[in-house]
Homo-oligomer: A and B are copies of this chain.
Amino acid sequence: MTQRIAPRSQDFPKWYQDVVAAGDLAENAPVRGCMVIKPHGYALWENVRDPLDRMFKETGHVNAYFPLLIPKSFLDREAHHVEGFAPEVAVVTHGGGKRLEEPLILRPTSETIIGHCYSKWVQSHRDLPILINQWSNVVRWEMRPRLFLRTTECLWQEGHTVHATAEEAEEETVKMLDIYERMAVDYLAIPVRKGRKSHLETFPGATHTYCIEALMQDGKALQMGTSHNLGQNFAKAFDIQFQDVDGERKLAWTTSWGVSTRLAGAIVMAHGDDKGIVLPPRVAPVQVVLVPIFRTPEERSAVLAEATRIVASLLEAGIKGELDDREQIKPGAKFFEWERKGVPLRLELGPRDLQARQVVVVRRDDGTKTPAAIEGLAQELHERLDAIQAGLLERAAGYLESHTHRATTLAEFEALLDEPGGFVEAAYDGCDETELAIKARTKATIRILLDAEDAAAQTCILTGKPAAARALFARAY
């Protein structure tokens, strides 16, 4: 139970594995690459999912559900899509005791099956836009799985929209990216860089892909969400046409966008410390835990009575409070467990506190211990939770800033990637080959393209040719 956590600074991958286990978020399933999301991890996912779902609905989207099982032939209809996903799919060959006539794949993403449906649903311009989201599981065979970050099965949402014009599709693509940014910054306390992917990193079948990218505490980048403008590629492949106001039949424009349980991994790696995970209050399943302390039966009943009143008043005030009144577990062991689980605030209430009409408040993020009066406690804790939320974001923003540099030569580029790590802005000649060569040599990939204003004045860090673009590079998950 009291498994050690490897220090972050020494072995980050091991630290990650340890804190996910110690925080009781998830564990490996018997099938390689799959995971079990444990109650604490699932409650965290619910707290990411629910505000996203609200934001989707506020922007006019509705939920629906499309099948897990997709005819294999659907994948073949869009050339880039099949190239990108065919190597990763899981194939069902038997059902109901019989070999299937056509094998089925488990959705790795649903553009194909949804495109098939949309071709029937869309007839007239009056049917547009279609703004649908789906919460579901997807399966992609992962060769190097890691809990939350890359798993053969993951939970996610995928939005799929259809529009009458290119402009509307582009507007939607950007709008949803902004919602992802809001989720990352306002809820997860993770600042992001936002932008367009290079040609090589574009979603298979999209005309272009936008994403949000964050830095983890080991200086590696993590893609946290993507929004794809699919142009007319899937509309062509699945024949999504509509009769426009002018009476003409036209091909529609589609988009897709998604985030997944990977976000739980982002929270762990952006905020965790050597004691375990550290949860931003806005997504913490338990925001405040109260641990009662007593020795005698008299103390016990007095402390528990007050503790129960306090937790009820917190719940009343909209704070996710929990009373840890488990018997047979000592307060110290409880402190340790809740620290590992990342609960933002711990309250300690003992007989002397009771007399002083106060609780001791311990912050998970900085470990500070200060008393607070029981009178007006909820208001006080609301403020402290807000302070923690803001503090986590500020700290992460500071990290992002101090880990973003600009390189003009390859030597500088490589040195910055090694130390301090993080994002490196650099110019390159814009060729896929160069991007691949940089990756092969440095393990860094283009996370997003940057404004190209002054690119022409610079030279490519690899080839020395005049630069065609500037990009934000990083070693990434």
Contact = CB atoms under 8 A, between A and B. Distances in A.
Contacts of A30: 71, 74, 113, 116
A376 interface: no
A74 B42 CA distance: 24
A43 B69 contact: no
A96 B132 contact: no
Interface of A: 27, 29-31, 34-39, 41-43, 45-46, 62-71, 74, 86-97, 104, 106, 113, 116-117, 126, 132, 136-137, 139, 141, 143, 152-153, 155, 328
Nearest to A131: B39
B153 A68 contact: yes
A153 B69 contact: yes
B87 A91 contact: no
Contact of A36 (B46, B64, B71, B74): B64
Nearest to A137: B68
Contacts of A87: 96-97
Nearest to A261: B65
B29 A153 contact: no
A139 B69 CA distance: 10
A34 B74 CA distance: 16
A204 to B, nearest CB: 16
Given A87-B96, A94-B90, A29 B66 contact: yes
Contacts of A152: 69, 95
12 contacts: A27-B117, A29-B67, A35-B67, A36-B64, A43-B63, A46-B63, A68-B153, A87-B96, A91-B92, A95-B152, A97-B141, A106-B106
The residue in A39, A43, A95, A117 that gathers the most chain B C-beta atoms within 10 A of its C-beta is A95
A26 to B, nearest CB: 9
Contacts of A67: 29, 31, 34-36, 153
A101 B321 CA distance: 47
A95 B141 contact: yes
B68 A39 contact: no
B126 A68 contact: no
Contacts of A93: 91-94
Given A29-B69, A31-B69, A93-B93, 14 more contacts: A29-B67, A31-B70, A34-B67, A36-B67, A38-B64, A39-B62, A42-B63, A43-B63, A65-B155, A68-B137, A87-B97, A96-B143, A97-B141, A137-B137
A93 B36 CA distance: 22
A22 B316 CA distance: 44
The residue in A69, A86, A93, A106 that gathers the most chain B C-beta atoms within 10 A of its C-beta is A69
Contacts of A113: 29-30
Contacts of A68: 34, 68, 106, 137, 139, 153
A106 B88 contact: no
B64 A132 contact: no
Contacts of A143: 96
A381 to B, nearest CB: 22
Contacts of A29: 66-67, 69, 113
A66 B36 contact: yes
A270 B45 CA distance: 35
A96 B141 contact: yes
Contacts of A34: 67-69
A217 B139 CA distance: 40
A323 to B, nearest CB: 14
A361 to B, nearest CB: 26
A31 B104 contact: yes
User: 8 nearest interchain CB pairs?
Assistant: A96-B141, A37-B65, A34-B67, A39-B62, A91-B94, A90-B95, A29-B67, A95-B141
Nearest to A138: B68
